[in-house]
């Protein structure tokens, strides 16, 4: 950052000092001028400052200097944050990724520290310049009978030259630019901007994709956004699904305000289905309502509620009902009773979570949004795929036509929803074309391994690799997990 000369132009009500110079990086704002009008000091920042066009400035206050320097860094941090916010399933971030994010955070902290130092130094220098200008203005206003403007301004120019404000600012500005440069390079290194090579070219069914997105928005409670998406994508509205999830969120909102009425109404209406699923959520809701009545000291009302709503569950939950009956003895003073654990606020949160699970289960839907789970799994697998593409590109090999990836993609246990069988002979994972087969001896191999062992002869017996039993291909049966 280098500056040339200083131009001074006096006026009756304002004194403007314009610093002419060159900006090495067009995207970085620099202080180009400031104007003293009455008691207010205005600063001008030029986003594309050059020697030929120093006057294309935007008037800002001193506080904006700090914000302008940090804007680009903050936007990039928001981008990083968005990748992990999108996943609401609370996945655990791998250790390597945490280390990479920590290094990015450290680099960002260094930039902000340098920025604060640079901003503080700029403020200090500007205040010093402002004081000198104030003295010059006082000299002009107090001089009688006729002030010598040239002499006063020459003295001001000399003082400013001795102060060398640009030299003072240059060192801190260079340190800030260096930290900023390192930070952007680190971002480019850690985050691959082009991920298009890591997925196959698939002909998407856009109608299905739009339906998945719509269902996700309704599932997450963003009904207005879902309706907007349906209108703009010109899709048929999913009225039934929206109505079901709207009912679920209304129940959950009522529970947040300690109103169990809608939840109990839903549980009663679905009593048979909940019992078939082995769920006791209806009893848990009644228990919570019973404790709320008892907490207010209404023993008779609680006893009546017990006889009406809870006693039908006595056959399967007798011990639980005995505990609730004992709570009647502590009406109005449950906080000092042995059953104080039943008043814990965590019961409300746990029950709301369980209700959402059971609600989705009765709808035939998964509790977690398939879209969010897919995105989370993709984020976890993306580094492996990007590395695979890089290696295979270097070897001039094409992986788009492969039926199976040459490297394993390890996902966390929460992403594994089905049993997986790996043949103990070929070490290949079972598939539809190569299913697991149960042999007459009880051992299991994949179909291709059995074919090789029998030498593609269905009547020729072969020895099991794990026991001395002679097995025929016709005796093998396909397994379904």
Mean pLDDT score of the chain, rounded to an integer? 75
Q: Which residues pair with 3 in a beta bridge?
A: 21
Residue 384 CB neighbours (<10 A): 16
- The set of residues, in sequence order, having a beta carbon less than 8 Å from that of 360 and lying 6+ positions away, is 248, 366, 367
How far apart CA 71 and CA 119 sit, in angstroms, is: 14
What letter does residue 35 receive in the DSSP assignment? E
Q: What is the pLDDT of residue 399?
A: 66
Looking at 25-34, 174-183, 237-246, 429-438, which range is the least confident one?
25-34
Domains of the chain by start residue, with CATH:
2-190 (no CATH), 238-363 (no CATH), 417-478 (3.30.40.10)
Give the closest residue to 247 by CA, choosing from 277, 219, 213: 219
For residue 390, name the pLDDT band (cuts at 50, 70, 90).
confident
In the predicted structure, residue 272 carries a pLDDT above the cut 80: yes
Q: What is the pLDDT of residue 99?
A: 55
How far apart CA 225 and CA 235 sit, in angstroms, is: 14
Burial 323-356, CB ≥16 within 10 A → b, else e: ebeebeebbeebeebeeeebbeeeeeeebbebbb
Residue 15 CB neighbours (<10 A): 20
- The sign of the CA dihedral 449, 452, 456, 460 is negative
Q: Contact 321/313 with Cβ under 8 angstroms?
A: yes
In the predicted structure, residue 418 carries a pLDDT above the cut 80: no
In the predicted structure, residue 350 carries a pLDDT above the cut 90: yes
Q: Which two tokens stand for residue 39?
A: 């008691």
In the predicted structure, residue 258 carries a pLDDT above the cut 60: yes
Give me the percent of the chain exceeding a pLDDT of 90. 18
Looking at 165-169, 243-247, 357-361, which range is the least confident one?
165-169
Give the closest residue to 76 by CA, choosing from 179, 183, 176, 181: 183
Looking at per-residue confidence, does 263 or 60 come out higher? Answer: 263
Q: What is the pLDDT of residue 354?
A: 93
In the predicted structure, residue 351 carries a pLDDT above the cut 90: yes
For residue 57, name the pLDDT band (cuts at 50, 70, 90).
very low
How far apart CA 448 and CA 354 sit, in angstroms, is: 44
Q: How far is CA 252 from CA 86, 88, 260, 480, in A?
A: 22, 17, 9, 39
Q: Which residues pair with 471 in a beta bridge?
A: 462
- The set of residues, in sequence order, having a beta carbon less than 8 Å from that of 412 and lying 6+ positions away, is 91, 92, 380
In the predicted structure, residue 321 carries a pLDDT above the cut 60: yes
In the predicted structure, residue 77 carries a pLDDT above the cut 80: no
Q: What single string gives the DSSP state of each residue in 84-115?
A: HHS--S-PPPPHHHHHHHHHHHHHHHHHHHHH
In the predicted structure, residue 245 carries a pLDDT above the cut 90: yes
Question: What predicted TM-score, i.e. pTM, was given to this entire model?
Answer: 0.53
What average pLDDT does range 372-390 have in this prediction?
85
The two beta strands, 40-46 and 462-463, are unpaired
Between the two ends of the chain, the Cα-to-Cα distance in Å is 68
Looking at per-residue confidence, does 212 or 80 come out higher? Answer: 212
Q: Radius of gyration of the chain from Cα atoms?
A: 37
Q: What is the pLDDT of residue 52?
A: 33
Q: What is the pLDDT of residue 68?
A: 41
Looking at per-residue confidence, does 466 or 32 come out higher? Answer: 466
């Amino acid at each position: 950052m280098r500056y040339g000369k200083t131009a001074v132009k006096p006026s009756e009500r304002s004194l403007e000092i314009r610093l002419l110079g060159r900006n090495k990086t067009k995207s970085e704002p620099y202080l180009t001028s400031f104007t003293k009008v009455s008691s207010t000091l205005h600063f001008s920042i030029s986003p594309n400052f050059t020697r030929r066009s120093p006057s294309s400035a935007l008037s800002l206050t001193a506080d904006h200097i700090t914000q302008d320097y940090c804007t680009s860094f903050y936007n990039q941090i928001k981008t990083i944050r968005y990748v992990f916010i999108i996943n609401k399933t609370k996945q655990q971030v791998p250790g390597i990724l945490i280390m990479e994010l920590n290094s990015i955070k450290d680099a960002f902290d260094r930039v902000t520290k340098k920025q604060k130092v640079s901003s503080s130094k700029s403020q200090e220098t500007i205040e010093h310049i402002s004081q000198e200008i104030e003295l010059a203005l006082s000299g002009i206003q107090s001089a009688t009978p006729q002030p010598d403007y040239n002499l006063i301004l020459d003295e001001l120019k000399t003082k400013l030259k001795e102060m060398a404000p640009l030299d003072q600012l240059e060192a801190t500005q260079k340190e800030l630019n260096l930290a900023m440069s390192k930070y952007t390079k680190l971002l480019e290194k850690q985050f691959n901007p082009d991920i298009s090579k890591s997925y196959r070219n698939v002909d998407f069914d856009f109608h299905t994709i739009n339906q998945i997105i719509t269902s996700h928005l309704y599932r997450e409670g963003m009904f207005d956004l879902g309706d907007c998406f349906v209108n703009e994508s010109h899709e048929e509205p999913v009225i039934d699904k929206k109505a079901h999830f709207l009912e679920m969120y209304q129940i959950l909102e009522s529970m947040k305000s300690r109103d169990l009425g809608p939840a109990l109404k839903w549980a009663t209406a679905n009593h048979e289905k909940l019992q078939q699923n082995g769920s006791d959520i209806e009893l848990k809701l009644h228990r919570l309502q019973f404790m709320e009545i008892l907490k207010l000291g209404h023993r008779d009302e609680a006893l009546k509620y017990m006889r009406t709503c809870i006693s039908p569950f006595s056959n399967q939950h007798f011990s639980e009902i005995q505990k609730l009956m004992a709570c009647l003895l502590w009406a109005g003073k449950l906080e000092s009773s042995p059953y104080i654990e039943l008043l814990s606020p965590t019961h409300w949160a746990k029950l709301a979570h369980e209700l959402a699970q059971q609600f989705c289960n009765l709808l035939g839907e998964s509790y977690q949004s398939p879209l969010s789970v897919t995105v989370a799994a993709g984020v976890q697998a993306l580094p492996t795929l990007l590395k695979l593409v890089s290696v295979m590109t270097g070897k001039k090999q094409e992986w788009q036509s492969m039926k199976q990836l040459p490297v394993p993609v390890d996902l966390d246990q929460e992403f594994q929803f089905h049993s997986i069988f790996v043949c103990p002979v070929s070490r290949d994972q079972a598939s539809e074309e190569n299913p697991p087969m149960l042999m007459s001896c009880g051992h299991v191999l994949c179909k291709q391994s059995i074919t090789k062992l029998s030498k593609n002869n269905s009547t020729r017996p072969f020895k099991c690799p794990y026991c001395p039993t002679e097995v025929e291909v016709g005796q093998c049966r396909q397994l379904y997990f």
